[in-house]
Each structure stands twice: as structure tokens, then as C-alpha cells.
Amino acid sequence: MNKIFSLGKLALYLFKSKFSMSQDCLFCKLVSGQILAKEIYRDENILAFHDINPQAPVHFLVIPTKHIDSLNHVLPSDSECLGKIQEIIPQLARKLNIFENGYRVVQNNGANGGQTVFHIHYHVLGGRGLKWPPG
Ligand code: AMP
Ligand code: ZN
């Protein structure tokens, strides 16, 4: 019985990875652990990690563990996870001591938006005064 249960779990895991992971996506590799990141938070649906090339004293990225190319590819079924990301961001901002003074959340979308990694992500920047408008 236990064996059948484990096989079922394995099949479910393989099914979920096949349909939620994109083979050549850098951030999917961070999610699967193929590439290591300086992780700040992880649950089944969300991963947050420090940006490798920080643009502010605090700069981290928050992503859904499911592969979504960009905002243009969001489905109604993604709303709960993306909403949860907005709930998690202030909690992480507090953890990294940028909650009180403020911070910026940026979501680059497509070529003109400056998106370089096509797995939807939210930049969180803080620890200094940020200029507006952005370049
Ligand atoms: P964007 O230009 O909005 O697509 O942002 C992609 C971000 O991913 C950039 O700020 C990069 O510095 C960051 N980045 C790329 N590779 C890694 C990595 N291995 N770990 C953490 N951040 C990364
Ligand atoms: Zn991906």
C-alpha cells in the first residue's frame, strides 16, 4: 500500500514538473536546485532569493515556482499565487529591514520593459532612496 502511495506521489511530482518547468529557464533551475541561489524564502508555490547583481543595498527577486514567461502569460488560475507574492513581499521587506523606510517593487515585462529572464519575477529594491522616473 505504501509502495503504491509513493509511486503515486512520484508520478504526481513528475507530472507537475513536466507541466510547470521550462527546460532551459534559469529561474526554473533555481527552483529545482540545479543552480543555487541565496534563498530568502521558499514554499511550494513561491521562491525569493537575492539578486546576483544587486542594484541597491537590498535587492531580491520573488518568483512563482511554476514557470510563467511574463505578465502577458498569466492565467486566471495563477491569481492566487501572484496575490500571495504581494502578501509575502512586505514580510520579506521586514525581515531584511527595509519595511519601515520603504522599498520599490519592479516587474519588467518584455523587451522594452527590460526583461532579460523570461520567468515572471518581482524585483524588490531598498536600503537607499530610489530615483523616479526610472531610466
Ligand atoms: P530582468 O532583467 O527584470 O529580467 O531581471 C533578471 C534579474 O535576474 C537581474 O536583475 C539579474 O541580476 C538576476 N539574475 C540573473 N541570474 C541570477 C542568478 N543566478 N541568481 C540571482 N539573480 C539572478
Ligand atoms: Zn522558468
Model confidence, pTM = 0.88
Grid cell 520579506 is found at 92
Q: Is 115 in the pocket of ligand 1 (CB under 6 A)?
A: yes
Phi and psi based region of residue 110 (left: phi greater than 0; alpha: psi -120 to 50; beta: remaining): left
Closest ligand 1 atom, residue 55 Cα? 10
| 121 annotated active-site | yes
Q: DSSP of 66-124, one letter per residue?
A: S---SGGG--GGGHHHHHHHHHHHHHHHHHTT-TTT-EEEE---HHHHT--SSS--EEE
Q: Is 110 in the pocket of ligand 1 (CB under 6 A)?
A: no
Q: Is 36 in the pocket of ligand 1 (CB under 6 A)?
A: no
The architecture in CATH of the region 22-126 reads 2-Layer Sandwich (3.30)
The CA distance from 66 to 122, in Å, is: 14
The whole-number pLDDT of residue 23 equals 84
The whole-number pLDDT of residue 6 equals 60
Closest ligand 1 atom, residue 37 Cα? 20
What is the 8-class DSSP label of residue 24?
Answer: T
Question: What residue spans define the domains of the chain?
Answer: 22-126
The whole-number pLDDT of residue 101 equals 98
Residue pLDDT tens, the chain, 135 long: 555 556 555 455 445 555 578 889 999 999 999 999 999 999 999 999 999 999 999 999 999 999 999 999 999 999 999 999 999 999 999 999 999 999 999 999 999 999 999 999 999 999 999 999 998
